[in-house]
Structure 1
Amino acid sequence: MKSPAKHPFLTSAVTLAAVLAAGALVRGLRPAAAADAPAAKAPSVLTVSIVTPQTETWPKIVQGSGPLAAWQEVIVSPETGGLRIAALLVDLGAHVKRGDLLARLSDEGLQADLRKQQAAVGRARATLAQATANLQRARAVDGSGALSAQKLDDYRISEATSRADLESAEAELDSIQLKLRQTRIVAVDDGIVSSKSAVLGNVVTAGTELFRLVRQGRVEWRPELDARQVSALRAGQGARVTLPGGEQVDGRVRLVGPTLSTSTGRATVYVSLPAGGPARVGMFANGAIEFDPQPAQTLPQTAVTLRDGRAYAYLLGPGDQVSSRPVTTGRRKEGRVEVDDLPADARVVAGGGAFLSEGAKVTVASAAEVSRVAQGSGR
């Protein structure tokens, strides 16, 4: 048999096999815990509280926007013309009552005409008295043959003519007295002076607008709604209007426009607002009309996140990982918002959605922690 030293390749193979065997032995001697150690856990990005959708009965809401206008306007103008404005007694914004004096026209010429016509009436009455006395005397001697039938007829005609002259003079007197009363420009109803075009000293003509009133101080909100929205409305439904300054005013639908505009396809809704409030004619306001309460699936508004023009809710899944779910929002009330397309038993992250991403891991706060945080925020 040949010596091993004479076979170098065989010697190297034996050496390599020994090294591999030693390595396998070392691996076999590693602790089992080190071999089976799990991968490191993903960290939690946020501690959150969880809510589930609630079903509540809310009134259905129709949103709209439109101007504020007077319920009715009252135009105040003189009924007689050719007279000068002698006095202006109210200004813009004045609250007036029915019959209040707003302006006065000069009446010197009419006072002179009045005295002249009163004298004419006096003459007519005297003439009538004389004609009546003549007729009575003529009748007294009618049977004696002292007067002819023609003369008696003349007395009758004279008496009738004098009576007609008196009536004409009295009618003219009434006309002058009426014109005198018309020199007093008064409010025809309660209201607020919204416009004044009268100028002191100006000679006016009959029918010229001097003042404009918001009748009874009543203001209306007049949004324009489409056919689908209008079909669900009726008089008496409640509305809440938000004014430009942020004030909210409650009102009632007075009238739903009977026709739709041929150019816009929309109809005007007339919502009465309370008199004496902050609403002013000419404002443009947004608002909502409430009607027909219906069930609504709701979440806290903090549970809905707006991103890229859409609304999302984050749902808690296995392993405390969250996933985003698009939702359609609707009515809002007292810090809650109506949502669609969520399972009734969905576990929704109550807040902090802006800090979450798809598949992020969260820590769910216990009820005690949630209560402690709520109490702290209340203080």
Structure 2
Amino acid sequence: MENFKRKPLALVLIAAIALSAGAVAIFSSKSGAAPASGAGAAKPALTVTTALPQPLSLPVKLSANGSITAWQEAIIGSESNGLRLIEVRVNVGDKVKAGQVLAVFYEGSVQADTAQARASLLEAQANALDAADNAARARTLERSGALSAQQINQYNTAEQTAKARVEAAQAVLAAQQLRGRQTRVLAPDSGVISARSATLGAVVGAGTELFRMIRGGRLEWRAEVTSAELGRIQPGTPVTVTAASGAELRGRVRMVAPSVDPQTRAGLVYVDLPGSAGMASPAKAGMFARGEFELGTTAALTVPQPALVLRDGFSYVFRLNADQRISQLKVQTGRRVGDRVEITAGLAADTRVIVSGAGFLNDGDLVRVNDASTSNQPAAPASSAQIATN
């Protein structure tokens, strides 16, 4: 009887628990519906800035390599033979002027030979004067018959022979005087001494090289340019040459070689360099240098450097779409000037691209634009004033 009374009580408790669980489930389902509707709205991945491509006039340059050499190099040698060098007045790197004395040979033997030649000339002149007097007297006796025609002819011949000996003696004296002047080695032109082989006390023969000189101190850059590019270079084209030391020199094309090397198919372009080849000059003869020929300017479409993203060996930019999402565009780049990069293909002039934060984005991302020109609205075609501002 007692067990029978307990069964209704247990049934009531079970029913109460079931009702409580149902209420909790209903309440939970209602309270979770609101967050679910809020989570459906996507959040921007990043706050970015944008810009329109900017047309600029960029310089066209042609790069080349070559060597710096002397414009013209003069070889200064000895004109005297068998004389001893007693004085050397210049060294490598010295600037000299035309006619300046560079070295001096001992002239004692030359002076003795000159004195002997002068004495021989005086003797020849005296003999010539005597022969002329004898010939003049013989001609006065020609009509009298005191002398035969053969004798008179002999006197005339002796006179002419004496005159010839005078001229020969004068030539010998002039040669010895020239040898005396050649004991002083003079600079044939103004320039810079680039090499010296003269040694004090050496006895050198005629034609022995004593010095080398860069004429006028002028240097030139001889650039090697392919035959396909030679036609783009004209005399007077400005050139920027960078020496091995890093110093930049401004020069101009003096001449383009009329022929090319049949082995390398490259031609030489001769570029005059400013300044002198002194010790203070950053350019030295024999130095390797690279340079750029300035061939004018052309129009180019450019974007800021941060807008360019390099991935997998290719260049990309991100286009801002009307729904504030971005699209990845593959582009081809060209010249770089400052913080701007030329886009040669893959981008239209009215396409607004992401600038800041481009490296952290992926194709299709939603972004928030913090741009005064866009005001969080889809990008519209920009005017020329807007392009200049961006």
**Shift in CA distance, 304/168, structure 1 to aligned 2, threshold 3 Å:** farther
- Output the CA distance in 2 between the equivalents of 1:337 and 1:183: 66
SS of alignment partner, residue 189 of structure 1: coil
1:299 aligns with 2:303: yes
| AA at the equivalent of 2:349 | A
Alignment of 1:20-99 (within 5 A): 26=27, 29-30=30-31, 33-39=34-40, 41-42=42-43, 44-45=45-46, 48-99=48-99
Q: Which residue of 2 aligns with 1:194?
A: 194
1:343 aligns with 2:348: yes
Q: Which residue of 2 aligns with 1:5?
A: none
Provide, for residues 224-280 of structure 1, a one-character-per-residue CA deviation record: whole Å limited to 9, x for no partner: 121222221111111111223332211111122222222222222111111235322
- Output the CA distance in 2 between the equivalents of 1:352 and 1:84: 80
- Output the CA distance in 1 between the equivalents of 2:304 and 2:201: 65
- Within the candidate set 283, 286, 293, 2:287 is matched to 283
Contact 1:238–1:290 (Cα < 8 Å) also in 2? yes
Q: Which residue of 2 aligns with 1:129?
A: 129
| AA at the equivalent of 2:219 | V
**Shift in CA distance, 33/76, structure 1 to aligned 2, threshold 3 Å:** same
Provide, for residues 269-322 of structure 1, a one-character-per-residue CA deviation record: whole Å limited to 9, x for no partner: 111111235322222222210114322223344544556655444444466555
Q: Which residue of 2 aligns with 1:258?
A: 258
- Alignment RMSD (CA, Å): 3.1
Q: Percent identity?
A: 40
- Output the CA distance in 2 between the equivalents of 1:211 and 1:366: 70
Contact 2:128–2:162 (Cα < 8 Å) also in 1? yes
| AA at the equivalent of 2:107 | D
Q: Which residue of 2 aligns with 1:356?
A: 360
Q: Number of matched residues?
A: 352
| AA at the equivalent of 1:114 | T
**Shift in CA distance, 158/228, structure 1 to aligned 2, threshold 3 Å:** same
| AA at the equivalent of 2:283 | A
- Output the CA distance in 1 between the equivalents of 2:32 and 2:266: 80
Alignment of 1:109-148 (within 5 A): 109-148=109-148
Provide, for residues 5-27 of structure 1, a one-character-per-residue CA deviation record: whole Å limited to 9, x for no partner: xxxxxxxxxxxx99998798557
| AA at the equivalent of 1:330 | G
300-309 or 251-260, which moves further after superposition? 300-309
1:79: how far off? 2.3
Q: Which residue of 1 aligns with 2:385?
A: none
1:38: how far off? 2.4
**Shift in CA distance, 66/328, structure 1 to aligned 2, threshold 3 Å:** farther
- Output the CA distance in 2 between the equivalents of 1:333 and 1:170: 75
| AA at the equivalent of 2:287 | M
Q: Which residue of 2 aligns with 1:208?
A: 208
Contact 2:50–2:371 (Cα < 8 Å) also in 1? no
- Output the CA distance in 2 between the equivalents of 1:363 and 1:155: 125
Q: Could you tell me the TM-score, scaled by structure 1's length?
A: 0.82
Q: Could you tell me the TM-score, scaled by structure 2's length?
A: 0.80
SS of alignment partner, residue 259 of structure 2: coil
Alignment of 1:162-241 (within 5 A): 162-241=162-241
- Output the CA distance in 2 between the equivalents of 1:203 and 1:351: 77
128-137 or 198-207, which moves further after superposition? 198-207
SS of alignment partner, residue 87 of structure 1: strand
| AA at the equivalent of 2:35 | A
1:35: how far off? 3.6
- Output the CA distance in 1 between the equivalents of 2:52 and 2:61: 23
SS of alignment partner, residue 188 of structure 2: coil
Contact 1:222–1:268 (Cα < 8 Å) also in 2? yes
Q: Which residue of 1 aligns with 2:160?
A: 160
Contact 1:61–1:331 (Cα < 8 Å) also in 2? no
In the alignment, structure 1 segments of 5+ residues that lack a partner are 1-16, 369-379
SS of alignment partner, residue 257 of structure 1: strand
269-278 or 48-57, which moves further after superposition? 48-57
